[in-house]
Amino acid sequence: RKFLIRTIYFLSNINLKSYGTSKIKKAFIRKSDQVIFESTNGSIRNNKEYVLDTEGVDLRYILNYSGIDYTRSSSNDILEIYKILGIEAVRKILIQELRNLISFDGSYVNSRHLSLLVDVMTHKGKLMSITRHGINRTDIGPIAKCSFEETIDVLYQAAAFGVCDNLKGVSGSILVGQVSSLGTGKIDLFLNEKKLK
């Protein structure tokens, strides 16, 4: 009994922060099925392996740790991925996370729609939120901006500063009843004056 009390006291007072990283709070082990394709003979075999899921993320530590396969490690901390791996890695993870989120209950969204959304979020080389703080700070025209959020405020500001909209975008064209310059609306007819003579 004394040994058990000493062991519990030791385990509760040990400082584990000096080992590993303090950003990862907990770790959970689960068994995962892995399908392996043998390219030499064309056979497929199932393999069970242990996977470690963590509560908390320290990607820089994980990528430098020799006992972990960094090629198969992933994270869902978008800002840390942006700092360490860059905007293309963020794009890939955002598409993956959105697909997992939407397909969780069996819903389906075409992957092109998700790719388009993520491309809008990352096309300037940094992350942009899909809110009025992100979309309305881009260089699209005021009519396209007012079709998103804060309609009255955007129109007041455009009128006060004399901002002109060339109506080349999709939203601006649709709002004024003009055919958008895409698809069949992109076609122009030119008159050949030589043939008229």
Q: What percent of the chain has a predicted confidence (pLDDT) above 90?
A: 18
Write the CA distances from 85 to 59, 81, 94, integer angstroms.
10, 5, 13
Q: With contact defined as beta carbons under 8 Å apart, do 77 and 59 qualify?
A: yes
Which residues does 118 contact at the CB level (< 8 Å), separation at least 6? 91, 94, 95, 98
Domains and CATH numbers, the chain: 24-56 (no CATH), 61-128 (no CATH), 141-183 (1.10.150.390)
**One pLDDT digit (tens) per residue for the chain, 197 residues:** 666 666 666 556 555 555 567 787 887 888 888 888 888 888 888 888 888 888 888 888 888 877 778 888 888 899 999 999 999 999 999 999 999 998 888 888 898 999 999 998 998 898 888 877 777 777 788 888 887 778 888 889 889 999 888 888 788 888 888 888 888 877 877 888 888 87
Which residues does 43 contact at the CB level (< 8 Å), separation at least 6? 37
Count of H helices and E strands in the chain? 10, 2
Task: Give the span between the Cα atoms of 59 and 68, in whole angstroms.
Answer: 11
